[in-house]
Structure 1
Amino acid sequence: MSTWAALAEYVRDEYEVLSETEDEIRILFDFEHLDEEDERTQVVILVRELLDEKHEWVQIATPIGKASEVDLTALLTEIGLSTVACGAAIMGEHVVLRHSLPLATLDLHEFTDPLALLAGTGDQLEEIFFGGDHY
């Protein structure tokens, strides 16, 4: 995966694409492929980022709920204790988990493993702090 175009092609083949623009792909991550009995899903947003106007990166993000509806201190404390491959941010009115990777040297597993980890963490935190599966 040395370019956004190559990553986008892979994503279209492997995941359910909800929407796509030139620099963004929204997918529905389906946990069923990890566990046949699991019917949960999580919206994940992939965004092409350009660092220093020349280095392509992919940002993997998942919304977990509205920032105004959560105890941010408790949420950030839990993220600090229980996550490995993501950080939290407020984007617009939503709390999102996100992780970024450089595309130039990206190996397939360096993308798929953090994607699955971020989606799973997002789904878990969404259930704990927002009481359901809204995204």
Structure 2
Amino acid sequence: MATWADLAEYVRRSYEVISDEPEELRILVGFGDEDEDDDPRTQVVIICREVLDRRHEWVQIASPCGLVATVDLKALLEEVGKSTVACGVAIMGDHVVVRHALPLANLDIEEFTEPLALLAGTADTLEEQFWGGDGY
């Protein structure tokens, strides 16, 4: 995998794409057993192309957890600090997001899929723990 086009095509084939723009894909990742009585949880994940120094292609993976205005950021950051291995937390607009970035050059697909799954799971867990719902 060496280009955004290659990665975008892989994502389109492998995930439930809910939005498809030239440099941004949004997918829906599901959690839980669909056969259970409870509604399975889902998480929106945004995958976008970034260019560093106008020449290095990167992919950023981000997932919103909830609104900044409705969370104790200190408690959230303390939880992330003690319970997560990968991914960072940032504020993007009005939202708290979990995000990760990878260089596209020489990217092996496992270097994308494993962080994506970890990020989606982390965002879903934080969303449930700190916002008490499944809004994203």
Per the normalisation by structure 2, the TM-score is 0.94
Amino acid at match of 1:111: F
Amino acid at match of 1:76: L
Aligned residues with identical type, % of pairs: 67
Q: Which residue of 2 aligns with 1:20?
A: 20
Instruction: State the Cα RMSD in Å.
Output: 1.3
Amino acid at match of 1:124: T
Give the C-alpha shift of residue 31 in structure 1: 2.7
123-132 or 35-44: bigger deviation = 35-44
Q: Which residue of 2 aligns with 1:8?
A: 8
Determine the C-alpha separation between the residues in 2 that align with 1:47 and 1:22. Answer: 9
* Secondary structure in 1 matching 2:111: helix
Unaligned stretches of 5+ residues in structure 1: none
Determine the C-alpha separation between the residues in 2 that align with 1:51 and 1:37. Answer: 44
**Alignment length (residue pairs):** 133
Residue-by-residue CA offset, 1:86-105 (whole Å, 9 max, x unaligned): 00100000000000000001
Determine the C-alpha separation between the residues in 1 that align with 2:34 and 2:58. Answer: 32
Residue-by-residue CA offset, 1:48-86 (whole Å, 9 max, x unaligned): 000110010000000000000000000011011111110
Matches within 5 A, 1:109-120: 109-120=110-121
Determine the C-alpha separation between the residues in 2 that align with 1:8 and 1:31. Answer: 22
Determine the C-alpha separation between the residues in 2 that align with 1:104 and 1:37. Answer: 40
Extract structure 1 runs of 4+ deviating beyond 6 A.
none
Unaligned stretches of 5+ residues in structure 2: none
Q: Which residue of 1 aligns with 2:88?
A: 87
Determine the C-alpha separation between the residues in 1 that align with 2:53 and 2:105. Answer: 14
Amino acid at match of 1:18: I
Determine the C-alpha separation between the residues in 2 that align with 1:62 and 1:22. Answer: 19
Q: Which residue of 2 aligns with 1:134?
A: 135
Query: Residues 37 and 83 (structure 1 numbering): CA distance in 2 closer, same or farther, change over 3 Å?
Result: farther
